[in-house]
């Protein structure tokens, strides 16, 4: 039991990505009248799970700023995901791309988090993907 609670940061990021990808896929299974509430709950879940995955070295001010992008990215993808055709051949690749990009987003947010504590050379490399993830949100 103790081994389950002693997860490293990468394992937490993988668990968070998997749970949110399953949540994205399950938006199709929810009744249409409850779908927008479910998407909002998925965004809150993305915020909380991202906070759990990246918690080491975060104060409350940094937690608010760093977790906006994962939550907004999840809300943006989930807002159009249920509009795709009902075929699983269309939905599964989109969910897989979401999982991969959310994983990369959390890794870049982790680099930004660590770079605020100490100087690391990956900060410049991580700021580019973080910027690219904000472009679909501004459109």
19-31 pLDDT tens trace: 999 999 998 888 8
Backbone angles phi, psi at 108, to 5 degrees: -70, -35
- Domain housing 77: 2-138
Please report, to the nearest 10 degrees, the dihedral formed by the alpha carbons of residues 81, 97, 115, 43 taken in order.
20
pLDDT of 19 = 96
How far apart, in Å, are the Cα atoms of 18 and each of 2, 33, 42, 135? Answer: 22, 26, 13, 24
- Encode pLDDT of 123-139 as tens digits: 666 666 666 766 666 55
Tokens for 99? 């999982």
pLDDT of 32 = 85
How many separate domains does the chain show?
1
Q: Which residues of the chain have pLDDT under 70?
A: 1-5, 116, 120-131, 133-139
Listed in sequence order, the residues at least 6 apart from 72 whose beta carbon sits closer than 8 Å to its beta carbon are: 43, 137
Task: Provide the whole-model pTM.
Answer: 0.82
pLDDT of 84 = 83
Contact status, residue 25 vs residue 95, Cβ threshold 8 Å: yes
pLDDT of 1 = 44
């Amino acid at each position: 039991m103790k081994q389950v609670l002693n997860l490293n940061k990468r394992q937490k990021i993988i668990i968070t990505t998997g749970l949110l990808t399953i949540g994205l896929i399950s938006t199709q299974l929810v009744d249409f009248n409850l779908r927008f509430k479910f998407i909002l709950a998925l965004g809150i879940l993305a915020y909380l799970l991202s906070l759990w995955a990246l918690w080491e070295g975060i104060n409350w001010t940094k937690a608010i700023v760093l977790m906006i992008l994962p939550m907004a990215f999840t809300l943006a993808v989930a807002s159009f995901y249920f509009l795709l055709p009902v075929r699983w051949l269309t939905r599964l690749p989109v969910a897989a791309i979401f999982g991969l990009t959310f994983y990369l987003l959390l890794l870049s947010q982790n680099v930004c988090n660590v770079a605020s504590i100490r100087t690391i050379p990956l900060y410049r490399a991580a700021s580019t993907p973080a910027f690219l993830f904000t472009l679909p949100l501004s459109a």
